[in-house]
């Protein structure tokens, strides 16, 4: 296995509200490798977007990063790695501001609320380029036009002076991708970038992102609830439920041999062309309220069709099924003990 670009351990992000504490992210472990695509999937409200925002230290109040580490590996000019813990950086400090946009860039879910309506597309892209590269105004404008052309926008020399509200949804999303890639980031976070787009534009955006990833060698963290998209672009998949990663493996394993009942339920709920309406199999129940989440038990237990008595009194830990497949479920904790015994036996000859 290659050295990971970003290694997240026991990440916890809580929101301290008048009604109580919301544990939006409650012990997430993730590994993102250079040049590969990790898809983070799960129902709305499971903490996917909050997790990704933590990597850039843009958690809004009353949210707070309360525990965990995020080890990011810079590639220095001499080819060696410099490791920095993003969790320890001041959200308003110079180090993290240098990382945002240059080392780690993000495409937000809704560009209309992420782009300024009071400034042209060109002003927003060139500001980012000048901030991180020290380019002149003329050089930054040329770079912005080049990136707009690269993402497939026609007549970029004219569109660069347009305001975001004068563009279609697909064009705004392309402009946002151009902005995110303008400084050649090492890692790109895409937070459901195709949710609000029609299927034709969605396919074009996905093809564009994969093409640009291949050209620039970026690591890609793609957040989505669309398993069809996951099947098309993912190298690895992490399934998230109520602030925890419940299953993690490569894409082929997740689709062909899922272990966690939640992952299995997600795959069963995908509608198929020949399926009748009464054959749809939705996941039972709903994601619980943030203020009434199960504590010290399996959090998926109330909705699980494979639950047993221990699930209502024991909280499962992450279990290693094999070298690249972990699952958080009591059904497999004995498997972990066997795997550990086998590993120790091999190590001792």
Over residues 208-257, the pLDDT tens digits come to: 888 888 888 899 999 988 888 898 899 999 999 999 999 999 999 999 99
Mean confidence (pLDDT) of the chain: 87
3-state SS class at 56: coil
As a whole number, mean pLDDT of residues 30-47 equals 92
What is the reported pTM? Answer: 0.88
Over residues 86-129, the pLDDT tens digits come to: 999 999 999 999 899 889 999 887 777 788 989 999 999 999 99
User: Whole-angstrom Cα distance, residue 129 to residue 133?
Assistant: 6
Which CATH number is 4-241's, of 3.40.50.300, 3.50.50.60, 3.30.1330.30, 3.40.50.620?
3.40.50.300
Q: Where in the chain do CATH 3.40.50.300 domains reside?
A: 4-241
Of 10, 7, 8, whose CA–CA distance to 27 is shortest? 10
H helices present in the chain, as ranges: 48-54, 94-99, 111-114, 121-133, 137-150, 156-159, 169-181, 199-216, 227-233, 251-256, 261-268, 333-347
Q: What contacts 237, CB < 8 A, 6 or more positions away?
A: 38, 39, 41, 230, 247, 248, 249, 250, 251, 254
Residues 72-79: contacts with CB within 8 Å, 24+ apart?
A: 72/5, 72/6, 72/99, 72/103, 72/104, 73/3, 73/4, 73/5, 73/6, 74/103, 75/186
């Amino acid at each position: 296995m290659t050295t990971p670009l970003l290694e997240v351990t026991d990440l916890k992000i809580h929101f301290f509200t008048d009604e109580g504490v919301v544990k939006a992210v409650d012990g997430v472990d993730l590994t993102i490798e250079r040049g590969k695509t990790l898809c983070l999937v799960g129902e709305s409200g499971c903490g996917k977007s909050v997790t990704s925002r933590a990597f850039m230290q843009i958690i809004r109040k009353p949210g707070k990063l309360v525990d965990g580490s995020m080890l990011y590996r810079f590639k220095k000019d001499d080819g060696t790695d410099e490791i920095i813990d993003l969790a320890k950086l001041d959200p308003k400090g110079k180090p993290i501001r240098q990382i945002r946009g240059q080392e780690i860039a993000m495409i937000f879910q809704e560009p209309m609320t992420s782009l300024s309506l009071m400034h042209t597309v060109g002003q927003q892209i060139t500001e980012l380029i000048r901030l991180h590269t020290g380019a002149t105004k003329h050089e930054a404008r040329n770079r912005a036009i080049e990136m707009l052309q690269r993402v497939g926008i026609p007549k970029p020399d004219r569109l660069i002076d347009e305001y975001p509200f004068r563009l279609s949804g697909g064009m705004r999303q392309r402009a946002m991708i151009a902005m995110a890639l303008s400084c050649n980031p090492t890692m790109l976070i895409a937070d459901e970038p195709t949710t609000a787009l029609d299927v034709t534009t969605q396919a074009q955006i996905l093809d564009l992102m994969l093409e640009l990833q291949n050209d620039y060698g970026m690591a890609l963290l793609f957040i989505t609830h669309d398993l069809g998209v996951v099947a098309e672009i993912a190298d690895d998949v992490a399934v998230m439920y109520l602030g925890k990663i419940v299953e993690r493996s490569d894409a082929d394993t997740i689709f062909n041999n899922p272990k966690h009942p939640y992952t299995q339920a997600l795959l069963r709920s995908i509608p198929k062309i020949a399926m009748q309406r009464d054959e749809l199999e939705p996941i039972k129940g709903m994601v619980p309220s943030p203020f009434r989440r199960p504590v010290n038990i399996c959090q998926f237990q109330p909705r699980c069709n494979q639950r047993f008595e221990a699930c209502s009194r024991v909280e499962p830990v992450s279990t290693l099924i094999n070298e690249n497949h972990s699952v958080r479920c009591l059904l497999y904790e004995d498997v972990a003990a066997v795997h550990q015994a086998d590993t120790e036996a091999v190590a001792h000859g």
